[in-house]
């Protein structure tokens, strides 16, 4: 079966940007008449159909919002991003069109092309975990917002967890229980999540005149990484009484290694995780105290921000002669919104037996 022609194919053939193609095909933006006709001709020759119902939607909003993700749809603890976005969309009389690329760049490109073909009003670009990204150029053709991701070029708005607050909140809970010898188990891969949580950890300890050890290991943040980091901590920092783990899965690995060392949680070792990934946090014995990430809230706020941006854009268009805005792809301001997180207290933290 032949591959469907996308907006990138039209842009390449016409020797113009994706933004120009979008503006030309939708009769908007500052595109010369000659370029507009040439783009339309090339699109027709290539068999590109920008929208099956374009004639019905032209001149007004489609009320469709695209939701582009990598592995969120197949990740239980992050699926609440979609739930939050869906609830907000329903309340605002919007229809959410969600696609999941499973991490494939080419699949994602085709999915974004398909969303643009349906003439979505805006796009939420979400990642499975808080990371640096280079957003696809097509996102600049319409209002877009990143969720759980930060644009390396700082050219796109984003909504993310407050990672520094997460690290500080987890550490302060252990300090309040009386712990002074605390380690953080984390991973080597740079990310806003790792860096922010480390910063919060250090800051909380420094406020008490203390320093803590940070143990990093290569690889993904899973139970195996937790086991490796835990063993390094026991070897290099004997006598620590509490640990903050990068996530709940690494905390599970620490539980296992602590058991091998004959340590009872929380009587002899207190542990705090991050995520509130229920199959782990509630499934461990004792239940894991953890910091819950605001997945639902991020998804909801993303839709609300986009709807606000679209209303403002429509208002601007109404006062511009000819109904054209000077920036057809205007969206939320280029800034990062950091959402506060909450501590979920279970049974993995107690006062140290001896300090």
Rounded distance, CA 64 to CA 95, Å? 5
Question: Splitting the chain (355 residues) into consecutive groups of 10 residues, what average pLDDT does each group show?
Answer: 70 87 75 89 80 44 90 68 92 91 85 90 92 90 93 91 98 98 97 97 97 96 97 96 97 98 97 94 97 95 93 66 45 79 98 76
Superfamily of segment(s) 163-293 = Response regulator (3.40.50.2300)
User: Model pTM?
Assistant: 0.79
> What pLDDT, on a 0 to 100 scale, did the predictor assign at position 324?
43
Half-sphere exposure of 99 (CA within 13 A, CB side): 21
For residue 132 the two structure tokens come to: 């640096």
> What pLDDT, on a 0 to 100 scale, did the predictor assign at position 286?
98
Cβ–Cβ under 8 Å, residues 20 and 35: yes
> What pLDDT, on a 0 to 100 scale, did the predictor assign at position 8?
81
**Domain 51-160+295-339 and domain 163-293 have a common topology:** yes
Half-sphere exposure of 278 (CA within 13 A, CB side): 6
Cβ–Cβ under 8 Å, residues 46 and 112: no
Find the helix packing angle between 105-117 and 7-14, rounded to 10°.
Answer: 90
Rounded distance, CA 121 to CA 202, Å? 43
> What pLDDT, on a 0 to 100 scale, did the predictor assign at position 232?
98
Half-sphere exposure of 280 (CA within 13 A, CB side): 24
Label the pairing between strands 289-292 and 270-275. Answer: parallel
Cβ–Cβ under 8 Å, residues 84 and 45: no
Task: Report in angstroms the alpha-carbon separations of 121 from 24, 49, 61, 88, 286.
Answer: 16, 17, 6, 15, 47
Rounded distance, CA 7 to CA 111, Å? 11
Q: With CA atoms as reference, report the closest residue to 110 among 133, 128, 136, 135.
A: 136
For residue 183, whether the previous peptide bond is cis, meaning omega lies within 30 degrees of 0, is no
Rounded distance, CA 141 to CA 318, Å? 20
Q: Which CATH class is domain 51-160+295-339?
A: alpha beta
List the chain domain ranges: 51-160+295-339, 163-293
Beta bridge partners of 274: 291
In which element (H, E) is residue 151 found?
strand 144-151
């Amino acid at each position: 079966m032949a591959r469907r022609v996308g907006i990138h194919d039209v842009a390449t053939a016409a020797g113009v940007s994706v933004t120009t193609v979008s503006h030309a095909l939708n009769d908007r933006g500052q595109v010369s008449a000659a370029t507009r006709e040439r783009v339309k001709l090339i699109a027709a020759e290539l068999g590109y159909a920008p929208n099956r119902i374009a004639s019905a939607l032209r001149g007004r909003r489609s009320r469709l919002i695209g939701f582009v993700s990598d592995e969120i749809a197949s990740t239980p603890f992050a699926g609440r991003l979609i739930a939050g976005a869906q609830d907000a969309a329903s309340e605002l009389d919007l229809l959410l069109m969600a696609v999941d690329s499973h991490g494939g760049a080419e699949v994602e490109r085709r999915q974004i092309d398909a969303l643009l073909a349906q003439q979505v009003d805006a796009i939420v670009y979400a990642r499975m975990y808080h990371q640096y990204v280079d957003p696809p150029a097509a996102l600049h053709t319409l209002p877009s917002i990143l969720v759980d991701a930060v644009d390396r070029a700082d050219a796109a708005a984003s909504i993310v967890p407050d990672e520094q607050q997460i690290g500080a909140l987890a550490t302060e809970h252990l300090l309040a229980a009386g712990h002074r010898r605390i380690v953080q188990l984390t991973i080597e891969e740079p990310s806003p999540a790792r860096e922010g949580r480390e910063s919060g950890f250090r800051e909380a300890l420094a406020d008490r005149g203390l320093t803590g050890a940070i143990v990093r290991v290569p690889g993904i943040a899973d139970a195996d990484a937790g086991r490796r980091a835990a063993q390094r901590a026991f070897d290099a920092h004997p006598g620590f009484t509490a640990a903050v783990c990068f996530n709940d899965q690494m905390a599970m690995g620490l539980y296992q290694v602590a058991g091998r060392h004959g340590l009872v949680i929380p009587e002899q070792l207190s542990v705090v995780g991050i995520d509130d990934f229920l199959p782990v946090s509630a499934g461990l014995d004792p239940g894991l105290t953890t910091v819950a990430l605001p997945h639902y809230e991020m998804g909801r706020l993303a839709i609300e921000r986009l709807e606000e941006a679209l209303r403002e854009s429509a208002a601007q268009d109404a006062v511009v002669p000819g109904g054209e805005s000077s920036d057809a792809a205007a969206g939320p301001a280029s800034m990062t919104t950091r959402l506060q997180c909450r501590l979920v207290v279970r049974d993995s933290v107690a006062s140290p037996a001896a300090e």
